[in-house]
Amino acid sequence: MNTILVTCATSTIGQRVVKNLRNAHIKVRTGVRSLRKSSKILGDNVEVVTLDFEKPDTYLAALEGVEKVFFILPVIPNQVEITRAFTKAAKNKGVKKIVMLSGLGADTKSSSDILRWHGEKEKIIRKSGIHYTILRPGNFMQNYIVGCYSKMYANGKLTLPQGDAKINQVDANDIAAAATSVLMNFGHKDRIYSLTGYSYTNMEIVDLISNIIGKKIEYVDITEEVARAKMKKCNVEDWRIDTTIGLHRACKEGLMEAYSLDLKNLIGKGPTTFAEFAIRHKTIFSS
């Protein structure tokens, strides 16, 4: 009964936590919706099981013999209901601890769908009767190199509806290191940690990128309507556009600026700076 289950194991954070646990020779079970996509998380001490959050009948087998769960959910509109059902199943199977990936600014009263969902999920976990640790990271730096964001640099512009607000930026590697520390070590019972890096405006970010790649990148503060149209061109679903716009609005209102020593205390070093991240991914930013 010492197995750790990592849900959404092929996600940005999930796959990094699996790798960390695998390298530490910890027995880890990885929950994935499609076994075809599991090749990047395979290892000698890694067990891969089907875990489809839209199919509750996959929960019990995934949770069999599990002591701890690193609980990540994809961005889906029914994630609060899924959290309720999954947590109930975890309690029934005798899970001792849930480490939940939430988000900075989580609040049941937030006007942002994503932040409100995070707040409601936290409430379910906290009232479940299972010991918990909740991790609230800032904005993933990796968001700047995936999806529609990554296509902007070729045109020399980063276009976002976030004004000149400072937004906390944290490297996914640091988040995964903190989660791994919590999963592998005693303590952290019934705690909430804010995993923050440094805060930057988007103007500061494009200046950093420009200096590193030797090419001028411009930040353009666009309206929500323009942002919505751009996401439609990327074939983003309407509900996902709405939730993303809500998160952009929260950023613009300053709700994503914060600083805590929690991350440094958990990983034993200062957080990655955006300059360090940009140097590491110079090829992507230069393309």
pLDDT in tens, 42-94: 777 889 999 999 999 999 999 999 999 999 999 999 999 999 999 999 999 99
Band (pLDDT 50/70/90 cuts) for residue 107 is very high
Quote the domain boundaries for residue 16.
3-138+171-196+257-271
Least trusted range by pLDDT, from 38-42, 129-133, 235-239, 271-275:
38-42
Of the candidates 267, 172, 159, the one whose C-alpha atom is nearest the C-alpha of residue 205 is: 159
Q: Is the dihedral of CA 256, 163, 274, 153 positive or negative?
A: positive
User: Mind listing the pLDDT tens digit for each residue in 227-274?
Assistant: 999 899 889 999 999 999 999 999 999 999 999 999 999 999 999 999
Residue 155 within a domain: no
pTM value > 0.75: yes
What mean pLDDT comes out for the span 127-149? 92
Mean pLDDT of the chain: 93
Residue 159 within a domain: no
Q: Enumerate residues 6+ apart whose C-beta is below 8 A from 90.
A: 59, 63, 66, 69, 98, 128, 130
How much is the pLDDT for 154?
62
Residue 102 within a domain: yes
Residue 277 within a domain: no
How much is the pLDDT for 42?
73
CB burial of residue 198 (10 Å; 0-12, 13-18, 19+): middle
> Could you tell me if 149 and 284 are in contact, meaning their C-beta atoms sit under 8 angstroms apart?
no
CATH number at residue 187: 3.40.50.720
- Is a pLDDT exceeding 90 seen at residue 156? no
User: Mind listing the pLDDT tens digit for each residue in 162-195?
Assistant: 999 999 999 999 999 999 999 999 889 999 999 9
Pairing state between β 198-200 and 167-170 = antiparallel
- Is a pLDDT exceeding 70 seen at residue 148? no
Look at the chain and report how many structural domains it folds into: 1
Residue 9 within a domain: yes
How much is the pLDDT for 61?
96
Residue 165 within a domain: no
- Is a pLDDT exceeding 70 seen at residue 39? no
Of the candidates 165, 108, 175, 163, the one whose C-alpha atom is nearest the C-alpha of residue 137 is: 175
Q: State the Cα–Cα distance between residues 89 and 248, nearest whole angstrom.
A: 34
